[in-house]
Amino acid sequence: MSTTMVVQSNRGAITLSVGLYLVWVLATYLLEGRVHTFLRPEAMGARLSYALIANVLIGIGGSALVIRFLARAGTFSAAQAGFRALGTRQSPSRSGWC
């Protein structure tokens, strides 16, 4: 793998990560900050939509998609990102848990 490829891959990873962060910040502002959802006790639906859209959909789902995209592009492996295959189980003695 050439140095140019590594730089472009790292640049792409940083660009995707910062882009996802900016989308999350915008969603947080639009769903919570602009309308002051947490300052109004009666805004239960607004708080629920903020939590589901900004935190679950964008935060967790978006980050999973970014990791999947970067793993498929060869920037890093899923194991390097902290994931393992389903159905594999590591015993506590081999993993250093004690």
∠ CA 82-90-81, nearest 5°, is: 5
Write down the pLDDT at residue 90: 62
Structure tokens at 32: 């919570």
At 25-67, the pLDDT tens digits run 998 888 888 878 778 788 888 888 888 888 899 999 998 888 8
Whole-prediction pTM value?
0.67
Write down the pLDDT at residue 4: 43
Average pLDDT over residues 84-89: 70
Write down the pLDDT at residue 7: 42
Residue 12 to residue 7: CA distance in whole angstroms: 8
- Give CA 29 to chain center in angstroms: 18
